[in-house]
Chains A and B, each alone.
Chain A
Amino acid sequence: MISIRNLTFAYGDKSVFADFSAELGAGITCVTGPSGAGKTTLLRLLAGLETPQGGVLKGVPAPVSFLFQEDRLLPWCTAAENVAAVLPAREKARAKDFLAAVELGGEADRRPSELSGGQCRRIALARALAYPGALLLLDEPFKGLDPALTERMCALLRADGRPAVVVTHDHGAAALLNAAELAIGA
């Protein structure tokens, strides 16, 4: 259980959180809210990439598997190499299994520039799932995916079983994930 108490955070003069509190359960939590509400910032705070100016974050498991808002794939590496990069040396061969799980088993030897936006998104998702983080932080994991694929990726996340915080604009996906919902901003 992650506990957020009286969180305060601002980028310079722009306040993002002021005295914000919430509890996140052990399952999947979907963070929803309008653009600029601070969804990505919340994930970055949970990952320790930003330091709050006030308040406490308790019970955040470490390390975290972070699917960033951008794919952040290594452009000079193939899909398999991108996934293998986060795996321990003796488990590199498992990269192809994770790619197969996101239905990209046939694209293992292609580089990001040779793939579509949706395919790159799934490689980034495969990489996040491959990394043995104790908490999944996923920022818009279904961006660029069609509804049928989104449904199958939701099933994959449910099957993974790790606690997850998922930022999404897709309310349908939240239902498919059987997730608790945390609405921020208004």
Chain B
Amino acid sequence: MTTSTSTSLRHKGKQIGKSLAAFVFWMLVWQLASALVGRFVPIGAELILPGPLPVARTLADLAQTAAFWRTAGGTLLRIFCGFAAGVVLGTLLAALTVRSRIADTLLSPLIRTVRATPVASFIILALLWIGKVRVPAFISMLMVIPVLWSGVAAAIRNVDPGLTEMARTYGFGRGRTLRLVYVPAVFPHWNAACVTALGLAWKSGVAAEVLCAPRLAIGTELYYSKIYLETPALFAWTAVVIVLSFILEKGFEALMGRWVRTR
């Protein structure tokens, strides 16, 4: 083993150790807070703030059922589809906005309005328009579009004019200019916009599930846990959302990292 690999391994080990320590610290804070609530509210304290152990137990029980995995998979699929559609549309609209003044004049106020409108208004409207099954994916897409649109449009506008002039002088043509100048210049900004949008897609998508309550959805489970006052289940499903969001984000980063390396 070379010195640099052993140093980087040691560094990685230290990082993991720090993250683990922070995790343990916040679990203890959670446990303490839950115990305090228990002292002041002797009956039904678990409804207000269940401790980490009951939540973990609920999660373990849930994970043993096939319905749990189908529910988690359903939400993951819905949000991923909405996110992917939003990324494609947001990127295309950004390119169109930069290319055409008319498109810019028409699209800019529309997308800014979408960004400023409360997500709950859209969820309720979409529920009336397209039915509860499609709403979560649609809402995720709607929240992703403005993020991609503004990030990518700004990145395209900031492409070094010296490079585009060079491409023109050397007769690159549209395809080569896109491949060699625009895509590599815009990619880091596109990637950053995607990571931000992914978080938004999750939050808005699950919120839409709560309000629409489709079959096989984490949001629907959250809704039921509110109705039946199953606070440990609420915490357990929230933990599932966090873990899935984390997995999707890391998966996306790994995919993009691999794409950059193979270029």
Hey, which bits of chain A sit against chain B, CB under 8 A?
A: 47, 49, 63-66, 68, 70, 72, 74, 76-77, 85-86, 127, 131
Assess whether B60 is interfacial by the CB under 8 Å rule: no
- Chain A residue at minimum C-beta to C-beta distance from B164: A72
Chain B count of residues within 8 A CB distance of the other chain: 13
B245 to chain A, nearest CB (A): 30
Are B169 and A85 touching (Cβ within 8 A)?
A: no
Are B163 and A85 touching (Cβ within 8 A)?
A: no
Q: Known contacts A63-B171, A85-B172; is A68 also within 8 Å of B166 by CB?
A: yes
B169 to chain A, nearest CB (A): 5
Are B169 and A64 touching (Cβ within 8 A)?
A: yes
Q: Known contacts A76-B184, A77-B180, A85-B180; is A49 also within 8 Å of B170 by CB?
A: no
B140 to chain A, nearest CB (A): 31
C-alpha gap A63/B176 in the complex (Å): 18
Assess whether B165 is interfacial by the CB under 8 Å rule: yes
C-alpha gap A66/B165 in the complex (Å): 11
Q: Known contacts A70-B162, A72-B162, A72-B163; is A49 also within 8 Å of B176 by CB?
A: no
Query: Max chain B CB contacts within 10 Å: which of A63, A64, A74?
Result: A74
B255 to chain A, nearest CB (A): 19
**Interface SS, A side:** loop
Beyond A72-B166, A85-B176, 12 additional pairs, beta carbon < 8 A: A49-B169, A65-B170, A66-B166, A66-B169, A66-B170, A68-B162, A68-B165, A72-B162, A77-B184, A85-B172, A85-B180, A127-B170
Contacts across chains A and B counted by CB atoms under 8 Å: 33
Instruction: Give the chain B neighbours of A131 by CB distance below 8 A.
Output: 170
Instruction: Give the chain B neighbours of A127 by CB distance below 8 A.
Output: 170
Interface code B157-200, partner A: CB below 8 Å = 1, 0 otherwise?
00000110110011110001000110011000000000000000
B9 to chain A, nearest CB (A): 26
Are B169 and A47 touching (Cβ within 8 A)?
A: yes
C-alpha gap A77/B184 in the complex (Å): 9
Are A86 and B170 touching (Cβ within 8 A)?
A: yes
21 A-B residue pairings within 8 Å (CB atoms): A47-B169, A49-B165, A49-B169, A63-B171, A64-B169, A65-B170, A66-B166, A66-B169, A68-B162, A68-B166, A70-B162, A72-B162, A74-B180, A74-B181, A74-B184, A76-B185, A77-B180, A85-B170, A85-B172, A85-B180, A86-B171
Contact among A49, A65, A74 with B163 in the assembled complex (CB-CB below 8 Å): A74
Instruction: Give the chain B neighbours of A74 by CB distance below 8 A.
Output: 163, 180-181, 184
- Chain A residue at minimum C-beta to C-beta distance from B260: A76
Query: Max chain A CB contacts within 10 Å: which of B166, B169, B172, B180?
Result: B169
- Chain B residue at minimum C-beta to C-beta distance from A48: B169
C-alpha gap A86/B166 in the complex (Å): 10
Instruction: Give the chain B neighbours of A86 by CB distance below 8 A.
Output: 170-171
